[in-house]
Amino acid sequence: MDYEVKADPLEAAFDAAVVPAVVQRPQLAAGDATNPAHKAFVDGYLRSGREVELKSFAGNVAADGGYAVPKEIDEVIDATLKAISPIRAVANVVRVGSAGYRKLVTTNGVSSGWASEVAARPNTATPVFNEIVPSFGELYANPAATQAMLDDAQFDVEAWLASEIATEFAKAEGSAFVNGDGVDKPKGFLTYTTAATSDATRAFGSLQYVASGAAGGLPASNPENTLLDLVHALRAPYRQGAVWVMNSSTLATIRKFKTADGAFIWTPGLVTGQPDTLLGFPVVESEDMPDIAANATPIAFGNFQAGYLIAERSETNILRDPYSNKPYVNFYATKRIGGAVSNSEAIKLLKIAAS
């Protein structure tokens, strides 16, 4: 006798599960595989060097000047830069359309007064406007890959290029934001004029420093009091969002400081994503900060969102060069970046000096 065997849905599901899945390259963002413009850029221009039409990309230019990197790759570069460039992570970053960016900052504010119902209202003082012009420079990276690597479909050219550019850019800009001289590069906050006077009497554009009290280092007795003086040199409105900036060597010294009752003044972040804190304020490690030494300024404390401005062009441009370094294909990436202290009252420095 013949029996009719009906398909078991559960068994069919198990059969389907053992079929090997097609391995795909990781995508930078959802929808990349279906984006013809993005595919044309990666497979056409980066891998093969074919000139492609990039109507959907803002700011694209001719092949001799490079193409604007698609948004998906550029966002990965920006995210990586923010993760490994410490000052960028806490500063005010603005996107500009040209290198002629300017920012106005007012000082003294608008004064006011009291008057009776029928009394005259004389003019009050007007604020003083100060123009901030960030120093711009062209940041570039020039990674290379062989054409054989680019022809290999398993080679993730998108991730490799984004990583290489981000690493090179982060090294250069991280140093410039701290120590840049402002000549064809951002002006670092440590290169500004410093004075020991307070905000009320110090010239706008110069940073206030607090002396450590010892000529060659931090005081041997109660060194944490010097850090407290630095905290309160920053006025209360700026302390909301303030951070410490120092290198790892200085941080190793600071982490050993204790209060009179034996408690460490440094507190580790106990939850994932929560920063380490010093006297209740987050700590940002920047290896471009100097070590503790005579007349050095190894510690900065301030609200960098209010105090330091990073201005950058919105696109990263890439020029593919298969000729200059055969058998390698170079990818010449450029981006215009500027930086300057925008509010000198929002950043304070600790200077290793007796006074």
Number of domains in the chain: 2
One domain, residues 60 and 169: yes
One domain, residues 154 and 59: yes
Structure tokens at 118: 């029928």
Q: In terms of pLDDT, which residue wins out, 231 or 120?
A: 231
Please give the residue range of the domain that contains residue 283.
192-309
User: Is 22 part of any domain?
Assistant: no
pLDDT of residue 315: 76
For residue 57, give the nearest of 82, 45, 329, 27 by alpha carbon: 45
One domain, residues 171 and 147: yes
One domain, residues 131 and 229: no
| CATH code for position 334 | 3.30.2400.10
User: Is 354 part of any domain?
Assistant: no
Residue carrying the six token digits 């009050």: 124
One domain, residues 147 and 272: no
Q: In terms of pLDDT, which residue wins out, 73 or 79?
A: 79
One domain, residues 141 and 266: no
Angle of the 157-179 helix axis to the 71-84 helix axis, nearest 10: 40
Q: Is 198:207 a contact under the CB 8 Å cutoff?
A: no
| CATH code for position 251 | 3.30.2320
One domain, residues 44 and 148: yes
Asked, as a colleague might, if the bond just before 327 is cis with ω within 30 of 0, I would say: yes
One domain, residues 172 and 200: no
One domain, residues 149 and 295: no
Rounded Cα distance, 11 and 32, in Å? 35
pLDDT digits (tens, 9 = 90+) for 153-169: 677 877 888 888 888 88
User: Is 6 part of any domain?
Assistant: no
One domain, residues 95 and 72: yes
One domain, residues 212 and 141: no
Banded model confidence at residue 9, pLDDT cuts 50, 70, 90: low
One domain, residues 217 and 179: no
* Structural domain ending residue among the three candidates 269, 285, 309: 309
Beta pairing class for 207-211 and 347-351: parallel
Most confident of 102-111, 113-122, 346-355: 346-355
pTM: 0.75
User: Is 73 part of any domain?
Assistant: yes
For residue 104, give the nearest of 77, 83, 131 by alpha carbon: 131
CA 221 and chain centroid, separation: 36
User: Is 12 part of any domain?
Assistant: no
pLDDT above 60 (res 137): yes
pLDDT of residue 112: 79
User: Is 247 part of any domain?
Assistant: yes
Structure tokens at 110: 């608008």
Q: In terms of pLDDT, which residue wins out, 302 or 258?
A: 302
User: Is 346 part of any domain?
Assistant: no
User: Is 220 part of any domain?
Assistant: yes
Instruction: Give kind and range of the element (H or E) at residue 228.
Output: helix 224-233
Rounded Cα distance, 195 and 211, in Å? 10
Written as one letter, the residue type at 307 is: G
